[in-house]
Amino acid sequence: MSGDEILECGEEILTEELTDLAFGMFTIFMEQQLEMEGICIYRAVEAGSDLTAQCGVFLASFIDAYPQLAPALAALGTAADIAGLYATGEGIVPTKTTKSYWIQQDRPGVASGSTAVEGAGKWLIFLPSEDVDAGWQKIRNATVAGILGIGAKVSTAKENEDSHDDCKVIYVFTADWSDEADVMRVREVLKNLGFVSRIGYKRNLDTYAGEYREKGKRVTYYSA
């Protein structure tokens, strides 16, 4: 959702939801800027680096680009407060993220939005909450290293009324569901990373068509 679209529907969004959305948009903005400098937010946080200075610089740039989001971000506090959120794992560690339903990691060099195109698809890995942080770290790092697919995302600790159990899910995206060789190559890499139990692969076009799990209904295109 663009900043202008947020303005149009802002009155319909609860203040907390708008603040969380603004934080998510700022995080994406900052990630893009830092990537050009060869820096990953998660690597900086895991190394114990203080991101207050970077947050200050990019916060000013972000507000210049999206002035309508300034009040929502101000609700989070100063640049130091936002850096403090990252330091505690917000937006980085699934079980410590409460401002976004998902954490996403694109493979470097992949065009923004590539994981959302209809021709793409994803392997679905369901994990109990106690295992999701370690599982996500493996998949995130492999995605950044360029040995998996075009991107990955993981569900977080943010309360979701659509969730019916305590399991979390990691999506591992490939560019073309019809490229079976590449789909299965990614599956082999996942096995090498320790995800050896049988999992399913779902095409984006089926997701967009509203095809979800129902008794007796097959919605995964591949299973391995």
Same domain, 151 and 108: yes
Domain total for the chain? 2
From 92, 119, 136, give the residue that closes a domain.
92
> Cβ neighbours of residue 88 under 8 Å, at least 6 residues apart?
96
Mean pLDDT of the chain: 89
Model confidence band, residue 160 (pLDDT cutoffs 50, 70, 90): confident
Domain-embedded: residue 127: yes
Q: Is the pLDDT of residue 14 over 90?
A: no
Domain-embedded: residue 24: yes
Same domain, 61 and 139: no
CA 207 to CA 205: how far, in whole Å?
5
In total, the chain counts a number of residues equal to: 224
Same domain, 83 and 117: no
Same domain, 169 and 118: yes
Q: What is the pLDDT of residue 88?
A: 96
**Structural domain for 85, as ranges:** 3-92
Domain-embedded: residue 144: yes
Give the mean pLDDT of 87-98: 96
From 69, 92, 115, give the residue that closes a domain.
92
The helices-and-strands tally (H runs, E runs) of the chain is 9, 6
From 42, 71, 92, give the residue that closes a domain.
92
Q: What is the pLDDT of residue 11?
A: 47
- Beta carbons of 183 and 203 less than 8 angstroms apart: no
Q: Is the pLDDT of residue 112 over 90?
A: no
Q: Is the pLDDT of residue 2 over 50?
A: no
Q: What is the pLDDT of residue 39?
A: 86
Give the mean pLDDT of 191-210: 94
Which of the two residues, 42 and 163, has the higher pLDDT score? 42
Domain-embedded: residue 146: yes
Same domain, 110 and 214: yes
Q: What is the pLDDT of residue 164?
A: 63
Which range is most confident: 39-43, 108-112, 120-124?
A: 120-124
Q: What is the pLDDT of residue 12?
A: 46
Domain-embedded: residue 79: yes
Model confidence band, residue 159 (pLDDT cutoffs 50, 70, 90): confident
CATH number of the domain where residue 139 is located: 3.30.760.10
Q: Is the pLDDT of residue 6 over 80?
A: no
Model confidence band, residue 210 (pLDDT cutoffs 50, 70, 90): confident
Model confidence band, residue 3 (pLDDT cutoffs 50, 70, 90): very low
CA 138 to CA 190: how far, in whole Å?
9
CA 79 to CA 91: how far, in whole Å?
16
Same domain, 85 and 107: no
Same domain, 108 and 205: yes
Same domain, 153 and 79: no
Same domain, 159 and 181: yes
Domain-embedded: residue 97: no
**3-class DSSP state of 189:** helix
Domain-embedded: residue 168: yes
CA 57 to CA 79: how far, in whole Å?
9
Domain-embedded: residue 163: yes
Same domain, 205 and 106: yes
Q: What is the pLDDT of residue 1?
A: 44
Q: Is the pLDDT of residue 162 over 90?
A: no
Same domain, 82 and 110: no
Same domain, 19 and 115: no
Give the mean pLDDT of 82-100: 96
**3-class DSSP state of 156:** coil
> Cβ neighbours of residue 188 under 8 Å, at least 6 residues apart?
none
Give the mean pLDDT of 76-101: 95
Q: What is the pLDDT of residue 37?
A: 85
